[in-house]
């Protein structure tokens, strides 16, 4: 057996790898464009950048290799790439690389990167974002959060942010230092706001808020400024889906002014910065206070006008009494006393009647307050933010929101009947 094995042709491992190296060198061009996703990237102290490149089919990796960008090329390529795409060369992005193929007898196959086309990556990022938006539209959820009504007085706020973020501190300072002296109740639900754990962490925070949703009027997602790369986690389908279907209105202020992330698109309201979110909430409370002040002024002016009319009536009565002939003094004193009492009684009854009328008006205004109407078991149904009065104003499949005294219900219209009771689906 040993003699037979020696008669078989055999190569050493080094000889085999040398043949592979020679075959690759002869079969492939010196430079070739390669599309791959960066799975991992590391730069050493010398400035060399080492990449792990993969290709995936769904969640399954179907190809993998190593790549190197030597320090000289890396300084130029990284600067060019980030200027064009507003994001560094980092894991999670798909790139178009120009590389030479290297096969070493010890280290195996690797690519030496000579150039990167940033236009390809920009297109990939835009395409991925568009696919997420189209999917949300197809599922009919992209505008669900926008369909919720903002609270009349947004004072109970659930905050998703990092407790160490400068944006969170700016938000709190702006909110609590408002010059109107409004008091806000806010609770922080800590989350990671950049890096690979961002999506999972924010979704977990939303889950905790939903368990306590009856305590809050609104939820906000805020972070400080940062690179565009830090915002990539906000172009995530799972996070966008969670925001779109959340039962409370969500305001985003994640610290950028140009392109909207998918999270911004599906939220109820997008503001540029955490400070702008705080100003938005303060303005909401101010708007409610101005409505109350307007009602108060209307009632005061009405009361002043009514009292003015009564003063004029009394002055007129006094003027007529002054014209009574002087011989009235011959009337017995007891008759004069009776007449005086009658006049006083009439005036008192008249004033009491007007006071009761004013009180009735005030009570009617109070009863017509939407909150008191809801307390009596009634509800308000809105479509596109407007109160519905006629069933014919909506179509089958429209989203409607029903506001109760405690809570809101978002529904999809299925069967629509007119007052004639036809019960026909439209």
Give 59-117 pLDDT, tens digit per residue: 788 999 999 999 989 999 999 988 887 778 888 888 999 998 888 888 888 899 999 99
Rounded Cα distance between 94 and 8, Å, is: 47
Annotate 353-382 with b (16+ C-beta within 10 A) or e (fewer). ebeeeeeeeeeeeeeeeeeeeeeeeeeeeb
SS3 category, 153: coil
pLDDT of residue 352: 76
Residues with pLDDT less than 50, the chain: 1-2, 4, 423-424
pLDDT of residue 374: 65
What class does CATH assign to 11-136? Answer: mainly beta
Report which DSSP code applies to 215.
G
Portions of the chain given CATH number 3.40.50.280: 156-285
pLDDT of residue 269: 94
Q: At 238, phi and psi to the nearest 5? A: -60, -40
pLDDT of residue 122: 76
pLDDT of residue 170: 92
pLDDT of residue 293: 86
Q: At 132, phi and psi to the nearest 5? A: -65, -45
SS3 category, 54: strand
Q: What is the DSSP string of 259-276?
A: SPPHHHHHSSEE-SSHHH
Portions of the chain given CATH number 2.40.50.140: 11-136
pLDDT of residue 83: 85
Pairing, β 269-270 against β 250-253: parallel
pLDDT of residue 420: 54
Report which DSSP code applies to 150.
P
In the chain the first and final C-alpha atoms are separated, in Å, by 87
Question: What's the CATH number for 156-285?
Answer: 3.40.50.280
pLDDT of residue 328: 53
pLDDT of residue 1: 45
pLDDT of residue 19: 86
pTM of this structure? 0.57
């Amino acid at each position: 057996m040993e003699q037979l094995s020696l008669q078989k042709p055999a190569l050493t491992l080094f000889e085999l790898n040398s043949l592979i190296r020679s075959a690759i060198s002869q079969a492939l061009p010196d430079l070739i464009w390669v599309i791959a996703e960066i799975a991992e990237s590391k730069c050493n102290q010398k400035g060399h950048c080492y990449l792990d490149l993969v290709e995936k089919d769904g969640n399954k990796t179907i190809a993998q290799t190593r790549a190197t960008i030597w320090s000289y090329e890396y300084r130029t390529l990284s600067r060019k790439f980030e200027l064009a795409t507003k994001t560094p060369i980092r894991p999670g992005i798909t790139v178009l690389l120009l590389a030479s193929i290297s096969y070493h007898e010890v280290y195996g196959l690797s690519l030496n990167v000579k150039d990167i086309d940033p236009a390809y990556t920009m297109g990939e990022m835009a395409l991925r974002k568009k696919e997420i938006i189209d999917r949300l539209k197809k599922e009919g959820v992209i505008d669900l959060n926008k369909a919720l009504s903002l609270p009349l007085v947004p004072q109970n706020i659930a905050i998703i942010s990092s407790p160490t973020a400068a944006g969170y501190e700016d938000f709190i300072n702006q909110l609590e230092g408002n010059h109107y002296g409004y008091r806000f109740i806010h609770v922080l639900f800590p989350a990671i706001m950049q890096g690979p754990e961002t999506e999972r962490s924010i979704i977990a925070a939303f889950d905790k808020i939903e368990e306590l949703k009856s305590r809050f009027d609104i939820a906000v997602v805020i972070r400080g400024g940062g690179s565009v790369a830090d915002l990539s986690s906000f172009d995530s389908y799972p996070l966008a889906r969670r925001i779109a279907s959340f039962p409370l209105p969500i305001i985003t202020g994640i610290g950028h002014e140009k392109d909207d992330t998918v999270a911004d698109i599906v939220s109820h309201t997008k503001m540029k910065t955490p400070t702008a979110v705080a100003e938005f909430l303060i303005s909401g409370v101010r708007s409610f206070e101005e409505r109350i002040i307007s009602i108060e002024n209307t009632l005061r002016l009405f009361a002043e006008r009514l009292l003015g009319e009564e003063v004029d009536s009394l002055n007129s009565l006094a003027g007529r009494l002054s014209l009574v002939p002087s011989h009235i003094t011959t009337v017995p004193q007891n008759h004069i006393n009776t007449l005086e009492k009658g006049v006083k009684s009439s005036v008192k009854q008249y004033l009491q009647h007007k006071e009761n009328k004013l009180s009735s008006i005030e009570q009617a205004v109070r009863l017509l307050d939407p909150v008191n109407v809801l307390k009596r078991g009634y509800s308000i149904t809105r479509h596109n933010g407007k109160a519905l009065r006629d069933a014919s104003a909506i179509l089958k499949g429209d989203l409607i929101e029903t506001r109760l005294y405690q809570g809101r219900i978002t529904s999809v219209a299925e069967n629509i009947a007119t007052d004639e009771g036809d019960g026909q689906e439209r």
